[in-house]
């Protein structure tokens, strides 16, 4: 391992991995403790769903805007400053979240937390990709990915066994403790050398005005669709799907989330290792897409299975969607040093935002064709996978690519 990680690389990977742990912890924590927190704030049962969704959308608006802000900042000011600035913002927001007394405070802090969360993953993956030796980049990003998914698993566990205010306090405290690791950390040498060039840095609009960049950028977002169909639509539908499959025991959404993220942890780690073995990130993602489609079709058509088998399929669903950080790494490597942080930071948040049209399409299939939950989910999922697999042919593999260039 010493031949792979020198002290500099080890520290950067550690910081990025722990940062993503706290990032994923917060994102999932709100889903787990949303109901308990709103009831404690005096919201009536009949308004829980509406206000909870509104709070979630407020957080997503924050991540959308934060992704653009931190992405551009990362290419203009540096990856490390964005990484720690992001951690500071969402950590403070979470600490304050543990003390909210009014609903408007909750809205404001979920927006701020979402804004801060938007910068961590992209900056971390960009930094790891640029400081790791070319042939070992997959190991670094695999560690980051698996650690982040473990953070989501921890949120599902702690959110169920600790009071909601304590859960937010724990998340905020973890982030602030992480900032102490900034001592003796290193900025990317590629960014330092690129900073002196005359090329424009963080030019977000060029991703849409240039046809070649637009193709690479939008294709990367399309490839993420099955991931967010799995971890948002399917997980929210877990109780309804179980009923239509004929399972009589009550299925907990919280437990389903934990099991899916257990699978994601295994998937993100294995996708990184497989890409190292194959020396090809794109082919690895294609294999995961095929596996994920097969599992989703089985999951939505496994009538008469027992609860234990259903729980196993949740883990397999997560495993099939476990190419997330491999995708972000592939996307970041598609672009030059002057645009890399912008791409790696905005794509995750635009991909998360894709949940909205996916959910709208799912509901439209039910209203338009009178489909059942199972059939509507099957149609929506298959289309997401077809779009994602098709998009892989519009980008090139970057495993052996030298990242020392400008776009």
pLDDT of 185: 62
Alpha-carbon gap, residue 345 to 356, rounded angstroms: 19
Given a cut of 70, whether residue 389 has pLDDT beyond it is: yes
- Residue 253: pLDDT band (50, 70, 90) is low
Contact 144, 325 (CB under 8 A): yes
- DSSP secondary structure of 334-377: TS-TTTHHHHHHHHHHHHHHTHHHHHHHHHHHHHHH---HHHHH
- Residue 360: pLDDT band (50, 70, 90) is confident
Given a cut of 80, whether residue 184 has pLDDT beyond it is: no
- Residue 289: pLDDT band (50, 70, 90) is very high
Residues whose CB falls within 8 Å of the CB of residue 148, separated by 6 or more in sequence, listed in order: 17, 20, 21, 23, 24, 121, 268, 325
Structure tokens at 320: 């099939």
Given a cut of 70, whether residue 182 has pLDDT beyond it is: no
Given a cut of 90, whether residue 261 has pLDDT beyond it is: no
Contact 376, 244 (CB under 8 A): no
DSSP-derived 3-state class of residue 201: coil
Rg of the chain, C-alpha, whole Å: 20
- Residue 312 CB coordination number (10 Å): 14
Instruction: Report the predicted TM-score, pTM, of the whole model to 2 decimal places.
Output: 0.85
- Residue 279: pLDDT band (50, 70, 90) is very high
Given a cut of 80, whether residue 197 has pLDDT beyond it is: no
DSSP-derived 3-state class of residue 35: helix
Three-state helix/strand/coil letters over 14-60: HHHHHHHHHHHHHHHHHHHHHHHHHHHCCCCHHHHHHHHHHHHHHHH
Contact 61, 135 (CB under 8 A): no
Structure tokens at 40: 């404690």
- Domains contained in the chain, CATH given: 7-181+209-394 (1.20.1250.20)
- Residue 406 CB coordination number (10 Å): 17
Task: Please list the alpha-helical segments (H only) found in 279-339.
Answer: 281-299, 307-320, 324-332
When comparing pLDDT for 185 and 305, which is higher? 305
- DSSP secondary structure of 168-194: HHHHHHHHHHHHGGGTT----HHHHHH
pLDDT of 1: 45
pLDDT of 7: 66
Alpha-carbon gap, residue 15 to 144, rounded angstroms: 9
pLDDT digits (tens, 9 = 90+) for 87-115: 899 999 999 999 999 999 999 999 999 99
pLDDT digits (tens, 9 = 90+) for 311-320: 999 999 999 9
Given a cut of 80, whether residue 180 has pLDDT beyond it is: no
> Which of these ranges, 68-72, 78-82, 110-114, 183-187, has the smallest mean pLDDT?
183-187
- Residue 183: pLDDT band (50, 70, 90) is low
DSSP-derived 3-state class of residue 86: helix
The listed range with the strongest mean pLDDT (6-15, 146-155, 259-268) is: 259-268
Tell me what the mean pLDDT of segment 158-174 comes to. 90
Alpha-carbon gap, residue 334 to 332, rounded angstroms: 5
Given a cut of 70, whether residue 385 has pLDDT beyond it is: yes
Tell me what the mean pLDDT of segment 343-361 comes to. 85
Structure tokens at 203: 């030019």
pLDDT digits (tens, 9 = 90+) for 23-53: 888 878 887 888 889 999 999 888 887 788 7
């Amino acid at each position: 391992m010493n031949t792979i990680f020198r002290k500099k690389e080890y520290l950067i990977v550690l910081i990025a991995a722990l940062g993503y742990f706290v990032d994923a912890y917060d994102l999932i924590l709100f889903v787990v403790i949303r109901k308990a927190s709103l009831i404690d704030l005096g919201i009536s049962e009949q308004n829980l769903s509406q206000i909870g969704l509104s709070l979630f959308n407020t957080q997503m608006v924050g991540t959308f805007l934060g992704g653009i802000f931190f992405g551009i900042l990362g290419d203009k000011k540096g990856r490390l400053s964005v990484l720690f600035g992001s951690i500071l913002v969402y950590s403070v927001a979470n600490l304050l979240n543990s003390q909210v007394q009014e609903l408007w405070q909750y809205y404001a802090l979920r927006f701020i937390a979402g804004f801060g969360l938007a910068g961590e993953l992209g900056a971390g993956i960009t930094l790891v990709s640029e400081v790791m030796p070319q042939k070992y980049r997959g190991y670094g990003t695999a560690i980051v990915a698996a650690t982040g998914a473990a953070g989501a698993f921890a949120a599902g566990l702690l959110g169920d066994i600790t009071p909601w205010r304590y859960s937010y306090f724990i998340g905020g405290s973890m982030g602030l403790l992480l900032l102490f690791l900034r001592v003796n950390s290193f900025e990317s040498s590629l960014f330092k050398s690129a900073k002196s060039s005359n090329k424009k840095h963080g030019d977000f609009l060029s991703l849409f005005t240039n046809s070649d960049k637009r193709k690479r950028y939008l294709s990367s977002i399309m490839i993420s669709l099955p991931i967010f169909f799995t971890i948002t639509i399917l997980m929210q539908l877990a109780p309804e799907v179980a009923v239509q499959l004929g399972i009589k025991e009550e299925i907990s959404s919280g437990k389903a989330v934990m099991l899916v993220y257990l699978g994601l942890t295994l998937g993100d780690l294995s996708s990184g290792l497989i890409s190292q073995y194959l020396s090809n990130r794109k082919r690895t993602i294609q294999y995961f897409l095929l596996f994920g489609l097969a599992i989703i079709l089985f999951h939505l058509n496994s009538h008469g299975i027992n609860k234990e088998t259903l729980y196993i399929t949740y883990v397999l669903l997560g495993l099939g969607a476990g190419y997330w950080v491999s995708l972000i790494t592939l996307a970041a490597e598609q672009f030059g040093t002057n645009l890399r942080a912008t791409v790696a930071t905005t794509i995750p948040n635009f991909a998360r935002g894709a949940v909205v049209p996916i959910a709208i399409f799912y509901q439209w299939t039910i209203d338009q064709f009178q489909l059942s939950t199972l059939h509507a989910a099957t149609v929506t999922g298959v289309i997401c996978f077809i779009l994602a697999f098709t998009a892989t042919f519009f980008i090139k593999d970057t495993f052996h690519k030298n990242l020392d260039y400008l776009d």
